[in-house]
Amino acid sequence: MKIGIIGAGNIGGNLTRRLTALGHEVSVANSRGPQTLTALAEETGAKPVAASEAAKGAQVVVVTVPLKAVPDLPTGFLDGAAEGAAVIDTGNYYPQRDGRIAAIEDGLPESRWTEQQIGHPVIKAFNGTYAQDILDRGRPQGTPDRQALPVAGDDPAAKQAVRDLIDELGFDTVDGGGLDDSWRQQPGTPVYGNRGDADAIAKALSEASPERSADFRA
């Protein structure tokens, strides 16, 4: 599968490592230009590209940049993606880093805000996952207590594509509902950073409160 990754930080870098190891064709970009990704490219075989080129032909696009950087993504960066491409948003709103985003403070789910900024539906996944776990904790399907990740989004086909990819990475998934329900996996909720199995993740999602915790408010 052809996969574009925009953002080469902890999550983006480790997804690049795992997905190339699984045989996927990965293009990776960051805000500083492809010349700064030489080491990651040499390590993984991924193709370093400009952010405007990362989605070209991709069936899955991962947007893994700080929320404050989302509005600065190149205009039309998804135009060249494959028809029906799934766009994964891994982002979290951290006001201390991102500044105050009024719509999110007023209750708009973080990934709904990101969707509005980029003009394309998104699937929320990996946002509460420890980056090192992507490398270390994947297990074969059917392994007892296999770690599970919540996945939220409105497009059933795109959501299934993301769930299948996560399964390939070695993790179970739990359907987190539509994107309007994705507040259940935002920072400060019981599922955020939770390494539990599918039952534990489903329980954590059900126990979430829509009230944003003080630690994650501006």
* Range 29-66 burial, b when 16+ CB lie within 10 A, else e: bbeeebeebeebbeebebbbbebbbbbbebbbbbbbbb
| Phi-psi label, residue 48: left if phi above 0, alpha if psi -120 to 50, beta otherwise | beta
* 123-133: average pLDDT: 98
pLDDT in tens, 5-62: 999 999 999 999 999 999 999 999 999 999 999 999 999 999 999 999 999 999 999 9
Q: pTM above the 0.85 mark?
A: yes
The dihedral of CA 30, 34, 40, 44: what is its sign? positive
Q: Among candidates 201, 62, 205, 210, which has minimal Cα distance to 122? A: 62
